[in-house]
Every structure is written in structure tokens, then in C-alpha cells.
């Protein structure tokens, strides 16, 4: 089937939406639910832990979405137009210690009997429990935000890094995904290049590469150093400006840090697409619009500025926003209520291609899924509304599973043999 490859177009239009599932988040039912809801709502990328089980969970959600595209009953009920393409599937690695790859841990036997359990109350992922079936940290749910550390009355909570070794999973995992993200920090150039070397044999199989870095006085110089070190690069490059990590669900002000850092990268950083993250929430797009009207020109989506910001080959370009803790928290009440992503067996299979006579099994038409999609779309839609005209065609390398086809009267289109 010939289709416009939506995620790459979104990068160019400045309306790229990435769901950040959590580099160490491994609660498979929630991941499956989140991936389905946000994919249906129009997300361009689902970024998750480099864990085969997690990747499998996302693919299960994608399989459900593909089947839902054929179900007229669900289409009639769905509050959004069901996407004709799947999002890109991205996995995250780190070149060293990083809060995104850590887990909390403590010995619940050491907790005072009269403790008010502030750690349980403050955890945004329901990863701490005190009940007979599970006491302590539920490791699969913990994504390393660290909010429990300072509130423990006896200061016994610690963290442990759970980063996945690229060498251990690369051969099995990187042929199953579309994109990678590397988390790095200023001063880790040698470690970054060592990781890059391990990943390099697989890069031509990818559609997008993202590099995430937190704010630092020397961040711009470091990003330029990385840019020069990874050349030549034949796929689109995203700079993720990680402003205030894993904080988007705390309050509206958390988005300011990533906006400031993104503006800094857009003004002086190396070529590539600049994507906000770290503190992003429901206020981020509104703040972007304020930046447009108050003179932060590099954020502007005005057509008159497209010529200066829409060509990553010569400079940085605003691409969009990645939403993590806020996006997950938005759906958390539904995730806790029950399954949103149904088992494949619950979806009727058409008897022949194009035949919808075997319509949607009533078991799948659950209110939770429809409500989850509507909530997810409330976060996706404002960003999609700020798209700018595409000036240049996105480029991806020719390969066994990817081929650009140019039609004389149509935009460039992308032929992608699904691996899902």
C-alpha cells in the first residue's frame, strides 16, 4: 500500500508527537494500553525501554490497531479518525548513569510500624505498595522519577541503575524497531561514541535517531561535538531537549525548562530536529504559542520563517514535543480500572480482504478504550494544530524494507513493509 509516511512529515511540519513510555518502565499491561490509546490518537512515535518484552507489548498494541482499522463498528464509535499508519517504535539506551534508567528500592521490613507511607502517596506510577500480595517497590512500574527519595522519614530508599546493554540486545532487538534514542550528558563524549560504535551496524535499518541531553552550560558545545562525531548520518536526527526530567505531571511551570533549553539549541545548536521533553504537559503548546508571539522566532510556525527553520541540513528546526509522565498520568485512572488494549482474540477477523461482514466483537467495544483515546487526543490535537507547511521532502535511506517513491502530482510517499 502506498501512503504518505506521516511521522516523518510530522517532523517537518513541526507537529511531531512522541509518547515517552519510560526508558525503564516495564509494566506490560500499561505499556500495551498506552501504546494503543496514543497510537489511535495520532502519535507519531512510541518510545519505550530497550526490553524485548516491552517491544513485544507495543507490537501487540499495534496489531490490535491494525485490526481495528478494519472494524466498521469500532470506527463508527471512535472519537477520532483511525490512523492509516502505525507510529514509529523507538527504544532508548544510555551511555552512562541516567535517572531515566534507575529503579527505587528499599527493605519494607525496616519501615516503622507507624509510618504514614509518604513514599506510597507521592509515587506517580503506583509503584510502591504495602499489602499482603506485594510490599515494597513494584519494579516493573517504577520509572525512576526519584520523588520517593526525599520523603522517606528514615531515608532508606535508594536507587539502582537498570540500563540495558546495547551489546546484549542489539542483534535481537534493533531489527525489530524503527528508531533509537541515546541518553547522554555533557562530558560523556567517549562513552557516547563507544555506545555509538556498538549501535552503528544497525543504523541503516532505522528511520530516525534521537539524542537526549539535559540542560548544561556547555550543552551547545557538547551537541556540536556529538554531531561532528556521528557524521555521516543518513537518517533524520532529533535533538531531545530534556528540560526537567519526568516532571510534567507536577504542574504547569515544569514546561519552562525545556522551552528555554529548546530555544537555546534552536538558536545555536547543530543541524537536526529539536523536540521538547522533560516537564512537558498540557500547557506546553500554549507556551509555544506565547513564544511565537513574543519574539522567540525559532519557535515560530509563521510561513515567512519556514525557509529559515525547515531545513535541518543547514540548521536546527523545531519538530514537536515528547510527552512522558504527564501523558501516562493522564490515562492512569483508566489504566488502573482495567484493560484498554484487548486481546487479539477479541477482535473478529474479516473472512476475506476488504470484507467487514465479521464486524467488531461486542467484547472489544469497551468504554475504557474510547475514553482513553479521547483523553489521549486531547493532548495530541493541540500540537497537531500548529503544523507548518512542508518545504523539503524528508529523506530516509533506501533499504530492504524502505523505499521512497516520488509521484509527479503527489507528495513524496513512503512504502514500508510492516514488521508488526
Span 332-390, pLDDT tens digits: 888 765 567 766 555 544 444 444 444 445 444 467 888 899 999 999 999 999 877 65
Domain stop point among 115, 144, 159 = 159
Same domain, 73 and 209: yes
User: Per the structure, how many domains does the chain have?
Assistant: 2
Q: What is the mean pLDDT of residues 252-267?
A: 92
- Which long-range CB contacts under 8 A does 409-413 form with residues at least 24 apart? 411/4, 411/9, 412/4, 413/2, 413/3, 413/4, 413/5
Q: How many whole angstroms separate alpha carbon 181 and alpha carbon 92?
A: 5
Same domain, 149 and 272: no
Cβ atoms of residues 118 and 152 within 8 Å: yes
Span 97-133, pLDDT tens digits: 888 888 889 999 999 999 999 999 989 888 898 887 7
* Residue 45, domain member (yes or no): yes
pTM of the model: 0.84
Same domain, 213 and 238: yes
* Residue 73, domain member (yes or no): yes
* Residue 340, domain member (yes or no): no
For residue 113, what are the domain limits?
Answer: 103-159
Same domain, 187 and 264: yes
Same domain, 114 and 181: no
* Residue 404, domain member (yes or no): yes
Same domain, 24 and 151: no
Total Cβ atoms within 10 A of residue 353: 6
pLDDT, residue 5, reads 81
Q: What is the CATH number of the domain that holds 177?
A: 3.20.20.70
Same domain, 114 and 221: no
Same domain, 173 and 117: no
* Residue 339, domain member (yes or no): no
Of 195-199, 239-243, 285-289, 334-338, which gets the smallest average pLDDT? 334-338
Same domain, 171 and 244: yes
Q: Which three cell numbers stand for residue 357?
A: 461482514
* Residue 368, domain member (yes or no): no
* Residue 398, domain member (yes or no): yes
Alpha helices by DSSP H, listed for 154-252, are 166-173, 189-199, 219-229
Q: What single DSSP character describes residue 3? A: B
Query: What is the percentage of the chain residues whose pLDDT exceeds 70?
Result: 79
pLDDT, residue 266, reads 94
Task: Give the list of residues 6+ apart from residue 243 with CB closer than 8 angstroms, or none.
Answer: 214, 215, 254, 255, 256, 257, 258, 259, 260, 261, 262, 276, 277, 278, 279, 280
Residue 391 φ/ψ region, left for φ over 0, alpha for ψ in the -120 to 50 degree band, beta for the rest: alpha
Span 135-146, pLDDT tens digits: 889 888 888 888
pLDDT, residue 304, reads 33
Same domain, 110 and 77: no
Same domain, 94 and 138: no
Span 285-319, pLDDT tens digits: 998 888 766 544 455 433 333 333 334 567 899 99
Amino acid at each position: 500500500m502506498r501512503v504518505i509516511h506521516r511521522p516523518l512529515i510530522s517532523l517537518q511540519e513541526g507537529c511531531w508527537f512522541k509518547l515517552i513510555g519510560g526508558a525503564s518502565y516495564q509494566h506490560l499491561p500499561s505499556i500495551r494500553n498506552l501504546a494503543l490509546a496514543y497510537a489511535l490518537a495520532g502519535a507519531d512515535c512510541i518510545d519505550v525501554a530497550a526490553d524485548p518484552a516491552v517491544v513485544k507489548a507495543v507490537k501487540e498494541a499495534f496489531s490490535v490497531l491494525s485490526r481495528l482499522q478494519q472494524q466498521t463498528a469500532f470506527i463508527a464509535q471512535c472519537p477520532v479518525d483511525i490512523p492509516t499508519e502505525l507510529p514509529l517504535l523507538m527504544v532508548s539506551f544510555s551511555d552512562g548513569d541516567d535517572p531515566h534508567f534507575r529503579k527505587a528500592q528499599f527493605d519494607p521490613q525496616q519501615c516503622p510500624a507507624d509510618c504514614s507511607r509518604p513514599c506510597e502517596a507521592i509515587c506517580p506510577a503506583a509503584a510502591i505498595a504495602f499489602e499482603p500480595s506485594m510490599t515494597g517497590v513494584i519494579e516493573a512500574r517504577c520509572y525512576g522519577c526519584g520523588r520517593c527519595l526525599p520523603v522517606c522519614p528514615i531515608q532508606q530508599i535508594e536507587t539502582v541503575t537498570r540500563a540495558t546493554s546495547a551489546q546484549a540486545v542489539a542483534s535481537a532487538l534493533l531489527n525489530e524497531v524503527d528508531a533509537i534514542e541515546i541518553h547522554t550528558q555533557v562530558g560523556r563524549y567517549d562513552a557516547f561514541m563507544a555506545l555509538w560504535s556498538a549501535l552503528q551496524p544497525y543504523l541503516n535499518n532505522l528511520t530516525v535517531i534521537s539524542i537526549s541531553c539535559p540542560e548544561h552550560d556547555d550543552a551547545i558545545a557538547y551537541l556540536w561535538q556529538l554531531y561532528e562525531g556521528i557524521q555521516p548520518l543518513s537518517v533524520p536526527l532529533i535533538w531531545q531537549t530534556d528540560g526537567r526530567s519526568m516532571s510534567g505531571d507536577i504542574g504547569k511551570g515544569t514546561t519552562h525548562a525545556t522551552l528555554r533549553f529548546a530555544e537555546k539549541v534552536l538558536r545555536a545548536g547543530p543541524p537536526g530536529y529539536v523536540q521538547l521533553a522533560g516537564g512537558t504537559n498540557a500547557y506546553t503548546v500554549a507556551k509555544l504559542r506565547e513564544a511565537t508571539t513574543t519574539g522567540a522566532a525559532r519557535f515560530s510556525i509563521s510561513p515567512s520563517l519556514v525557509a529559515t527553520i525547515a531545513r535541518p541540513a543547514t540548521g536546527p528546526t523545531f519538530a514537536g514535543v515528547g510527552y512522558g509522565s504527564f501523558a501516562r498520568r493522564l490515562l492512569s485512572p483508566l489504566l488502573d480500572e482495567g484493560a484498554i488494549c484487548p486481546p487479539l482474540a477479541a477482535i473478529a477477523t474479516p473472512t476475506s480482504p476488504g470484507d467487514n461482514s465479521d464486524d467488531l466483537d461486542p467484547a472489544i467495544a469497551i468504554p475504557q478504550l474510547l475514553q482513553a483515546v479521547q483523553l489521549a487526543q486531547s493532548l495530541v490535537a493541540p500540537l497537531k494544530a500548529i503544523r507548518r507547511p512542508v518545504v523539503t521532502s524528508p529523506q530516509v535511506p533506501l533499504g530492504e524494507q524502505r523505499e521512497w517513491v516520488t509521484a509527479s502530482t503527489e507528495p513524496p510517499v513512503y512504502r514500508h513493509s510492516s514488521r508488526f
